[in-house]
Amino acid sequence: MNLFRKLFKETKPVIGMVHLHPLPGAPGYCGSVEKIYEAAYRDLQNLIEGGANAVIVENFGDIPYARDNELITNTAFAAIASRLRQECDLPMGINVQFDNVEAEWAIAYSCGYDFIRSEVFAENRMGPNGVCIASGPQIMRLKAKYPKDIALLADVNVKHTFPIVEQPLDFTIESIIEGGADCLICTGVMTGKSPGIEDVELMKKIAGDFPVIVGSGVNDKTAKDYFAAADGAIIGSYFKEGGDVMRPIDQKRVKTLVDALR
């Protein structure tokens, strides 16, 4: 059975983001892992109490993102992720920027997480974080070597990047599905910017029964339309105070969007 379907059954999940402050090794690190955890814990609680269905923990603050993080960065991420997992019964995912699938699988596997997000599963892309080579072959071999029911959510034309060589959308989608992922993610060009409804509908048409979720830009005014076209959404910026992605989670905004879907 598809692991995304198994994880969420008939639910179209509202997936909130816990954006970690800069970790050790990142340029903006504040000097205290405990303070990073405390901020993440508050955001997690506000997502839970606001009615989110799932959570992704991401090292959002580690700008500019490295392709291979230092050991201390991944260790701190794992330590925080493990503590957060103990505080939440919802499905939880890991995203280690930028597309560091080895760290993602290791943390998810070791800390009891349910899914990971892979930004360039079946594409070769480039952007401010450098050149990103398709990670599907690596992650599927890690999964075979260290097997566990951890769902793989794979971006298509991921935000903040551009293709090294253009490839047809249907080819990319077919490659992701054939390669072993469990869900497609449709994003806009950058954080907080949504793809058009027509982009989501086209991806869903090509994918058929395979799960497609929206990865950016959903808010309380557009949620119903996107959820009618897709199988769920990852929501970051809208859930923050004032819609500012750099601020903490606002529980009221989470509740507003969840209520808008009813």
pLDDT of 114-126, one tens digit each?
999 999 999 999 9
pLDDT at 173 over 70: yes
Calculate mean pLDDT across residues 138-150: 97
Calculate mean pLDDT across residues 192-204: 83
**Which pLDDT score, from 0 to 100, does residue 238 have?**
97
Q: Which domains does the chain have, with CATH numbers?
A: 3-260 (3.20.20.70)
Calculate mean pLDDT across residues 84-90: 98
**Which pLDDT score, from 0 to 100, does residue 1 have?**
80
Structure tokens at 189: 């060009």
Comparison of pLDDT for 128 and 85, the residue scoring more: 85
Which pLDDT tens digit goes with each residue over 32-42?
A: 999 999 999 99
Which pLDDT tens digit goes with each residue over 17-60?
A: 999 999 999 999 999 999 999 999 999 999 999 999 999 999 99
> Would you place residue 194 in the very low, low, confident or very high pLDDT band (cuts 50, 70, 90)?
low
**Which pLDDT score, from 0 to 100, does residue 195 have?**
82
**Which pLDDT score, from 0 to 100, does residue 206 have?**
96
**Which pLDDT score, from 0 to 100, does residue 193 have?**
54
pLDDT at 140 over 90: yes
- Mean pLDDT, all residues of the chain: 95
Which pLDDT tens digit goes with each residue over 205-257?
A: 999 999 999 998 899 999 999 999 999 999 999 999 999 999 999 999 999 99
From residue 127, how far is each of 44, 152, 158 by CA, in Å?
Answer: 30, 22, 10
32-55: buried (b, 16+ CB within 10 Å) or exposed (e) per residue? ebeebbebbbebbebbbebbbbbb
